Structure 1
Amino acid sequence: MDRAAARSSFDVVRRKVGGVLAPLVFFGLLIAPLDLPGPAHRLSAIFAATVVLWVCEVIPLGATALIAPALAVAMDVTPAAKAFAPFASPLIFLFLGGFMIALGLSEQGLDRRAALWLLARDWVRGSPARARMAVGIGAFACSMWISNTATTAMLIPMALGLCAAIRGAALSEDQPKFDRYAEGTLLTLTYACSIGGIATPIGTAPNVIALDFLERQVGVQLDFFQWISFGLPTGLATLAIVLVYAERRFPAPVARLDRLTVEVKKQLDGLGPMSPGERRAAAVFLLAVTGWLLPSVLKVILGAAHPVTAWADRCLQEGVVATLAGVLLCIVPGGRRRGEPVLPWDKAMRLDWSTLYLLGGGFSLGAMMFDTGLAEAVARGFLAIAGPIASSPFGLLAASTFLVLWLTEVTSNVATTSMMVPVLIAIAQAAGIDPLPTILCVTMAASFAFTLPVSTPPNAIAYGTGLIKIQSMIRFGVVLDLLGYLVLLACGALLLPALGLGL
C-alpha cells in the first residue's frame, strides 16, 4: 500500500470512529448525572461531541464550528445573539484582512519574487547548504504574515525546483546523498512555515483565538508590538534549531554548485522589473504593518497618556487596519488590465472562510463555557486531580504546554486552542495564578506539530511530494518537539518575565 492509500485508509477509519463516538458522547453526557447547572450540563454534551468531531474530522472543521453554537441555542444554553456575537469579533476581521493581504501579494506574484530574490543573494549563491537556510528563513518570514498552509503551498514548487536543479548535477552514485538533502530541505521548509506563524498575531489562527480569550475573559489586551516582542525571539530560536539539526541530519552533498546560481538567476531575470501591481501591493502591505505597529511606537515616543497615542490605541485596532488594507487592495488599480484592481473582488472572496467559521465557533464555545460555569467546573476538577503540579505558576505552564504540544500532533491546532485555552484560563484563575504566561506558551505550542503527516496541513503537503520518508519526519519531529518544548519553557520562565508578561 502506498503512502497516499495508507493515509486515506487512516482518515476513513478515523471518520467512521468519530461518526459513531460523537453521538454516543453527546447523549451519554446528556443523561449522565453530572453535578452541573442545566445549561452547563447541556453545554458539556455539545462541547464533548464538538471535540470528537474536530479530532476525527467527521465533517469539515468549519461546519462543526457552526453547528456547535446553533445547537447551543436550540438546547436553550444561551440566546442566539450571544451565541453568534463572537463571529463578529474584531479579531475575526483581523484574520479576514490578513487573508486578503496574502491573496493580494500572491495575485501580483510578489511572494515568488521575494523567494527568488532571497535565493539570489551573494551569501547563498552556489551553496546548497545556504540555499536550504534561505528557504527556511524565507518560509519563516512569509508565514509571519500569510497562513502556514498558503506559505507551504506557495514555496513547495520553488523548493522542489531547487532540489531538482541540485540533483540534476549529481553523479549516479551520489543520488542517495542528494535525496536525503531534498528530504531535509522539504522538512525545513515545512517546519519553518509552522514556526513562523507564532511570531505575529496574524501568523496563525491559534494566536487570534488566544488574544480573544485573554481580552474577554482576563481583561488583558496585547498589542501587535507586545506579541512580536516574545513571539519573534521564540520563533527565531526554534528556527535556528531546525536549521542546525537539518544540516547535521541531512547534510548538503556538495559544498558548491554553480548550476544553482544560474537557475535562480534565470528565474529571477525572467520576472523582469517589479510591475506597478507588485509595487502597489507592497505599499499596501507596508501601510498595514505601519498601522499595526504605530500605537506601540507612539507609546514609546509620546507616552501612553498623550492624546495622539490614546487615539491610535482606540482607533487603529489590528482588525480595523487589516480590514482597511484588504479592502484597499480591491480598490487600488493593479496596472495589468484597465480598471482591474490589485486584488479583484471575486478572487478576494476565495479566502479561507472555513477557518473564519472555525475561529468564530471556537470563540463562541469558549464564551459559553465561562458564561454557564462549565469552564470553572472543569478547572476545579483538574485541580483536584493534578494537585501540587498545577498549583504553581511554572508547574501549570510546564504541564499544560507539554499536554498541548502532543495533543496538537493529532488534532487541528485551531481546535486544540479553542478547547484548551478557556479551560486553562479557568484553571489558572481557580488556582489564583496569572493565566497570561501559560496561555501564551500553550498557544505557541499548538503550532509545534512536527511529528506526523496528519499533524498539520504543511506536513501533509510536504509529505505528499513523495520525497519524505515517514520515519524521517517522525524522528526529526520528535526531536524538534522536545527541543521546542524547552524553548517554550525558557520563553515562559525567562523571556516573558523580562517583558513584564511573566510568572
Structure 2
Amino acid sequence: MCRAILAYWKYLITLLIPLLFLPLPLVVPGKEAQCGYTIILMALLWCTEALPLAVTGLLPVVLFPLMGIMESSKVCMEYLKDTNMLFIGGLLVAIAVEHWNLHKRIALRVLLMVGVRPGLLLMGFMGVTAFLSMWISNTATTAMMVPIAHAVLQQLHKTEVDRIAAEQVAVTKGTVNGGFELEETTPPPAYEDVVTMEKEEPVDLQQLEQKHQTFSKGMSLAVCYSASIGGIATLTGTTPNLVLKGQMDDLFQENENVLNFASWFAFAFPTMVILLVLSWLWLFVMFLGFDFRKHFGCSGSDSDKLKSKVAYDVIRGEHRALGPMKFSEIIVLVLFILLVLLWFTREPGFMPGWASLAFDVGGKSYVTDATVVIFIGLLLFLIPSELPSCCSRGRAQQESQPNKIQAPPALLNWQTVNQKMPWNIVILLGGGFALAKGSEASGLSRWLGSKLTPLQSIPQAAICFLLCLLVAVFTECTSNVTTTTLFNPILASMAQAICLHPLYIMLPCTLSSSLAFMLPVATPPNAIVFSYGQLRVMDMVKAGCMLNLLGVLTITLAINTWGFPLFNLGSFPAWANSTASTQC
C-alpha cells in the first residue's frame, strides 16, 4: 500500500488538496475567500510540483471566471503582457549569444586576463559567471562554466601529482632533481631514509588528493552561487525580477515607470558586487584557508609557478580552439552592446532619454524596455550570419551547383529558438500576474492589508530584514519565481496598510528570492554542480547558510542606503495611495 501511495502521490495530491480546502469558499462568503482558495491551491501545487509549474499557472483562467472574480478575457490578457515580451526578447538575445559561443569566448578571455593563482582563479570564475548570468540564464551559465573549471583544476592536480612523483623518484635514485642523474657523486639514501620516505609518500598523495577535492568543491559552489548572484544585477537577469516589474505595473498602474532597466541596474548592480565579494571571501576562507599570500602567488615557489603555467595553458588552449572571431560573433556582440546602451539611455532618470525626446506622444512615451529588446530580437532574424558574397562560393557548391548562389542563414532561426526558449516560464509568469490581478479585483489584497496594520509599530528596517530572511528560507524549498509570485501581492497590501513605500519591501524580498544557496533542489545551478558527484548536501548547507545571511544583510543595507534616494523611499507615493484601502 505504501508503495502504491508513493507511486501515485502526484495524483493523490492533485485530488486531495482541492477537496481539503473546498470548505473555505463554501463556508466563508465573499470573493476574498474564493480568491484565497485559488491562491492556497496554486501555492501548494507549486510547492509540491504535483503538476508542472506552468500547468498550475493556468488555473486562474478556469477558476477566476467560474468564481466571478474576473472575466475570462481580462484573465487571459495577463498572460502576455509587456513584461512577458521583455522576457522573451531578453531570451532571444541570450540564445543568440549561446548559439554562437560568444559567452565562452568572453569567459575564457577574462580568465586569461585575471590570472590563474588559486585565489585569483576563484575570483575570476566567480566574476565571469556573475557577469554572464546578468544577461543569459544562470542555468546555461553554470552548465558552461563548471566543465571549464573542473578541466583546469584536474590538470592542476595531475601536474602536482606528477611533480611529487618525479621528486620522489629522484630522491630514491639519489638526486633531488629528476633532470640530472649524478650517480657517481650522490650517495644512495640510507635505509632509514628510504623507509621514512615510503611511509610518508601515501600520506603526501592522500593530502594532495584531499586538497584537490576540497578546492574542487569550493570552485563548484563558487560557480553556482555566482550564477545566482549575478542574475539580480539586471532587470532581465532572472525571472523574479520580471515578476516584480509586472506586478508593480499591475497593482500600481500609475507608478510612473519607477522600475526600468536603468533604475534597477543602479540599485542592484552595486548590491551584486558587494555580495559577490563577500561570497568570494567566505568561500576563499572556507576552502583555501587564511593564507592569502600563498594563494595569490606571492610565495614565488617553483611548484606554484609550474601549476600556474599549466592552468594558464589549459585555458589558453580552450580559447585557441575557438579560433578567430567570426562575423556572426562580432555582429551578435555589437547588437548586444547596442541593446544595453538603448536600455540605459531610454529613461536614465537624471536626464531626458531618447524615448521621450524622439517618440513623445502627448507628453508620454509609448516605448518601453520590451520595445527595445524585441527590436534587437527581430534584427537577429534579419541579419545574415556571414558576409554576403556573390563571387566566392565553396568548392563543393561550385562542383555540385556551379550556377547557384545560396544565401547564408540568419543569426537566429526559429528552430533554434523553439528548442531553447523556456515557454513554460512565460506561462508561469502569466499565471503569477493573473494571481496578483485577481487578488486586487477580489478585494483580498485590501483585506490582508487591514490585518497587517499592527506591523506599523515595528521599525521599518526590522520589517525589511525579517521579511527578506523569511523569503530567503522559503525559496530553498520552492522555485524563486513561485516565491516572488506568492509573496509580492501580500507585501504590496501590507505596505499600503502601514503607509510604507511598496518598493521598500517588495524590491529587497524579490532579490532575496534569488538567495537559494543551501540545497541542491533550490535552484538549477545548485543541481548542476551537485550532479558532478563531488559535493555532499552538508557541504552546500555549510557554505550556503552563511551566504544566505550575508545576502540578506547586504540587500537590507542596500535598500536602506542608496536605495532610499534612488526610489524616494522616504515618502509614501501618490500612485500607491490611490489604490490603498486607507489614505496615508
Same fold (TM over 0.5): yes
- Output the amino acid matched with 1:29: L
How many Å separate the matches in 2 of 1:247 and 1:168?
22
Q: Cα RMSD (Å) of the superposition?
A: 2.4
CA distance in 2, matches of 1:73, 1:434: 32
Provide the C-alpha distance between the structure 2 equivalents of 1:352 and 1:363, rounded to a whole number of angstroms.
Answer: 18
Among candidates 35, 42, 46, match of residue 34 of structure 2:
42
Contact 1:143 / 1:196 at 8 angstroms: preserved in 2? Answer: yes
Does residue 420 of structure 1 match 2:487? yes
1:495 is matched with: 562
In structure 2, the partner of 1:205 is 239
Q: Helix, strand or coil: the match of 1:349?
A: helix
Counterpart contact for 1:54–1:415, Cα < 8 Å: yes
1:313 Cα deviation (Å)? 7.3
Q: Do the aligned residues in 2 keep the contact of 1:376 with 1:426 (CA within 8 Å)?
A: yes
Deviations 1:407-444 (A, max 9, x none): 11111110110000011101110122111111110110
What residue number does 2:180 align with?
A: none
Indicate whether 1:339 and 2:408 are aligned.
Answer: yes
Could you say if the C-alpha distance between residues 334 and 303 of structure 1 is closer, same or farther in structure 2, counting changes exceeding 3 Å? closer
Q: What corresponds to 1:245 in structure 2?
A: 282
- 1: CA distance, partners of 2:33 / 2:440: 13
Contact 1:14 1:56 survives alignment (8 Å) = no
Query: 1:68-87 to 2 correspondence within 5 Å?
Result: 68-87=60-79
Matched position secondary structure for 1:409: coil
Q: Which amino acid aligns with 2:120?
A: R
Question: For the structure 1 residues 382 and 175, does the alpha-carbon distance in structure 2 shift closer, same or farther, using more than 3 Å as the test?
Answer: same
Identify if the C-alpha distance between structure 1 residues 303 and 208 changes in structure 2 by more than 3 Å, giving closer, same or farther: closer
Give 1:41-440 correspondences, 5 Å limit. 41-121=33-113, 123-124=114-115, 126-171=116-161, 172-173=205-206, 174-218=208-252, 219-220=254-255, 221=257, 222-251=259-288, 255=297, 256=304, 257=307, 258-297=309-348, 300-302=350-352, 307-308=357-358, 310=360, 314-335=365-386, 338-350=407-419, 351-383=421-453, 388-389=457-458, 392-440=459-507
Q: Which whole-Å CA distance do the structure 2 matches of 1:103 and 1:413 have between them?
A: 22
Residues 130/293 of structure 1: CA separation in 2 closer, same or farther (3 Å cut): same
Change (3 A) 1:152 1:304: closer
1:302–1:502 CA distance, 2 compared to 1 (3 A): closer
2:377, 2:359 → 1: CA distance?
24
User: How high is the sequence identity, in percent, across the aligned residues?
Assistant: 27
The CA distance in 1 between the partners of 2:356 and 2:247, in whole Å, is: 28
Report the CA distance shift for 1:416/1:305 in structure 2 as closer, same or farther (over 3 A). Answer: closer
Rounded Cα–Cα distance in structure 1 between residues aligned with 2:366 and 2:104: 34
Mapped partners of 2:92, 2:215: distance in 1: 35
Aligned-residue offset at 1:24: 3.8
Greater mean alpha carbon deviation, residues 257-266 or residues 326-335: 326-335
1:16-48 deviation per Cα after TM superposition (whole angstroms, max 9, x unaligned)? 7744652244424233x33x52x3222211110
| Residue 388 (structure 1) shift | 3.0
Cα 1:459–1:306 shift into 2, 3 Å: closer
Report the 3-state secondary structure (helix = DSSP H, G, I; strand = E; otherwise coil) of the residue aligned with 2:78.
Answer: helix
Residues in 1 aligned to 2:411 and 2:100: alpha-carbon distance in whole angstroms: 7
Question: Residue type matched to 2:246 in 1?
Answer: D
Tell me which amino acid in the other structure corresponds to 1:51.
A
TM-fit CA distance, 1:387:
6.7
Equivalent residues of 1:101, 1:326 under 8 A apart: yes
Name which one, 1 or 2, has greater alpha-carbon Rg. 2
Picking from 24, 31, 37, the partner of 1:29 is 24
Taking the aligned partners of 2:355 and 2:320, their CA distance within structure 1 comes to 51
User: How far 1:135 moved relative to its partner?
Assistant: 0.8
Displacement of 1:394 in angstroms is 2.7
Q: Distance in 1 between matches of 2:117 and 2:322?
A: 23
User: Do 1:18 and 1:57's aligned partners in 2 also have CA atoms closer than 8 Å?
Assistant: no
Structure 1 residue 405 displacement after superposition: 1.3
Aligned pair count?
484
**Alpha-carbon distance, 1:71 to partner:** 2.4
SS at match of 1:250: helix
Spell out, residue by residue over 1:285-338, the C-alpha distance to the aligned partner (whole angstroms, 9 max, x if none). Answer: 1121122112234x5455899744847972441111111212221221112984
Helix, strand or coil: the match of 2:325? coil
Q: Is the 8 A contact 1:167 1:178 kept in 2?
A: yes
Deviation at 1:152, TM superposition (A): 1.5
Gaps of 5+ in 2: 1-5, 162-204, 298-303, 388-405, 571-584
The one-letter code of the counterpart of 2:79 is: F
Q: Distance in 2 between matches of 1:483 and 1:195?
A: 12
User: Are 1:436 and 1:501, in contact at CA under 8 Å, matched by a contact in 2?
Assistant: no
Q: Distance in 2 between matches of 1:372 and 1:263?
A: 60
**Letter of the structure 2 residue corresponding to residue 332 of structure 1:** I
Q: Residues 43, 497 of structure 1: CA spacing in aligned structure 2 closer, same or farther, 3 A cutoff?
A: same
Would the alpha carbon gap of residues 14 and 428 (structure 1) be closer, same or farther in structure 2, given more than 3 Å must change?
A: farther
Moved more, 398-407 or 67-76: 67-76
Partner amino acid for 1:229?
A
Counterpart code for 1:127: R
